[in-house]
Amino acid sequence: MKKQKSKGPLFIKTMVFGAMSGALYYLVFSNVDWVTKTYTMGGWHTVYPVGTALVFSFIHGAFASNLLALLGIEAKGSH
């Protein structure tokens, strides 16, 4: 029989990454004019959209992973 682990720390991590993900979306969509102007300048400014994509990918991915773990959903074949 498996011993149940406390989901408290996992819940907190899920909420923190979820809040960070929501804040990132809010910042981008509330500054859409600046984002559009700055991210389409070309040249070295291409660092902005690439960096933003990496940050969004990490934060949202961590949120989704923690949420699935919190819900007890695992990949098939995973032990």
Residue 78: the pLDDT is 57
Closest CA to 8 of 78, 72, 70: 70
Residue 2: the pLDDT is 58
Residue 31, CA distances (Å) to 25, 27, 44, 51, 75 in order = 10, 6, 21, 17, 37
Q: Measured between alpha carbons, how far is 8 from 35 in angstroms, rounded to an integer? A: 37
Residue 45: the pLDDT is 94
In tens digits, what is the pLDDT along the chain, a chain of 79 residues? 556 678 899 999 999 999 999 999 999 999 999 999 999 999 999 999 999 999 999 999 999 999 999 999 987 875 6
